[in-house]
Structure 1
Amino acid sequence: MNEAPLIGEPLALDLVNTRPTGTDLLDTPEHLANWLALQAARLPELAVAHPTAADLAAVHAVRDHTGSVLDALLHDRRPPADTLRALNTAQAAAPAIRQLAWDGNAVTATTRRNGTSAEKLAAVLAEAAIDLFTDPSIGKLRRCAAEDCVLLFLPAHPRRRWCSPDRCGNRVRVARYYQRHKAD
């Protein structure tokens, strides 16, 4: 990968942010495997040892639909109905089913999904998008203030302007410093 994907935003934003300007950080099944490994602590059910081209296509479809809805929300527009339908269909293809079991000491619940790995990946990611779209904090959604950045984030602090202080924030601060001292 040319650059490391940012992680730490809600899963659906992390997914959309794998497509910064002119780059696709999930352009191969291997890159998808790397991204899924980065997300493993949050959602271990996403771990796919060797993603296939079908897995990659399913993830791209959910990413495109999620990005379309987020773009509409950023511009105070109604999301396209076909995009919402596509996310609902992806989520329904491998719905989450909680199964109860006794572990010897207590009742446990394990979430399982039936379907191909592509259907399971798409369902988990579509479900994450649905959770994001319906979260009250979605009204705080922002695009990075750096001119050449398209990444999205949900600010924990109202003054946050950049996708990452280390990535874009530092570049902007260095450019401002250079401009101020260039005149000297």
Structure 2
Amino acid sequence: MGDIIPLVGEHLALDLVNTRPADGDLLATPDDLLAWLELQAGRFSQARDLAAAGPTAAGLAAVRDLRDHTAQVLDHVRRGEEPPAGALDALNRAQRAAPPISELTWDGRAVTMTRRRTGPPAARPAAWLAEAAADLLADPAVVKVRQCEAHDCVMLFLPAHPRRRWCSATRCGNRVRVARHYQRHKPV
């Protein structure tokens, strides 16, 4: 992932789309995907399982393709427009490539359930992320998704507060505020 720190903590589908900032691609190699999945592991139990399997070049290609289709659908849906049918089909195909199951086991005292995905290991990360994209895209709140107001930022976020303007107060907010302060106070 290089020197760029990924924006995490938004809805998982937004975190995925945000792996393509204005100045590069945070998912350039299978190791980048592994590092990103490990960043997500604290929030999503499946991320740890996917990271443990070790992403492959095929898995990375599937995730990057999914990211592009998610971004395309999201761009239309958040404006209330019909998304391209091909992009929706791609999201559905990704989910079908590694269907989820709820596996039941006996732990000695009770039946427990664990969600996991079947299908080829290379398809599992994209299927898991496609399911997260479907959750976001079908949520009525998707129309509230915003792009950061910093002039050189393309990050998306779902504001918890209606006055939120930047992807991150520390990433873009401070930079914009410092630039504004400099403009107001620069010597003439």
Deviates more, 1:43-52 or 1:63-72: 43-52
Structure 1: which amino acid aligns with 2:109? N
> Identity rate of aligned residues, in percent?
61
Alignment partner, residue 21 of structure 1: 22
Structure 1: which amino acid aligns with 2:69? H
Alignment partner, residue 78 of structure 1: 82
The Cα shift of 1:102 comes to 1.6
- State whether structure 2 residue 98 is matched by structure 1 residue 94: yes
- State whether structure 2 residue 117 is matched by structure 1 residue 113: yes
Please list every run of 5 or more consecutive structure 1 residues that lacks an aligned counterpart in the other structure: none
Query: Could you list the per-position Cα deviations for residues 65-94 of structure 1 after superposition, in whole angstroms to 9, with x for gaps in the alignment?
Result: 100011112333211001001100100111
Please list every run of 5 or more consecutive structure 2 residues that lacks an aligned counterpart in the other structure: none
Query: Could you list the per-position Cα deviations for residues 84-122 of structure 1 after superposition, in whole angstroms to 9, with x for gaps in the alignment?
Result: 011001001111111222211111111122112221111
Alignment partner, residue 66 of structure 2: 62
Equivalent position SS for 1:98: strand
Q: How many correspondences in the alignment?
A: 184
Alignment partner, residue 37 of structure 2: 36
Structure 1: which amino acid aligns with 2:68? D
Equivalent position SS for 2:176: helix
- Compute the TM-score of the two structures, normalised by the length of structure 2: 0.93
Contact residue 80 and residue 143 of structure 2 kept, 8 A: no
The Cα shift of 1:183 comes to 4.5
Contact residue 144 and residue 162 of structure 1 kept, 8 A: yes
Query: Could you list the per-position Cα deviations for residues 43-77 of structure 1 after superposition, in whole angstroms to 9, with x for gaps in the alignment?
Result: 23233233211111011011011000111123332
Alignment root-mean-square deviation, CA: 1.2
- Compute the TM-score of the two structures, normalised by the length of structure 1: 0.95
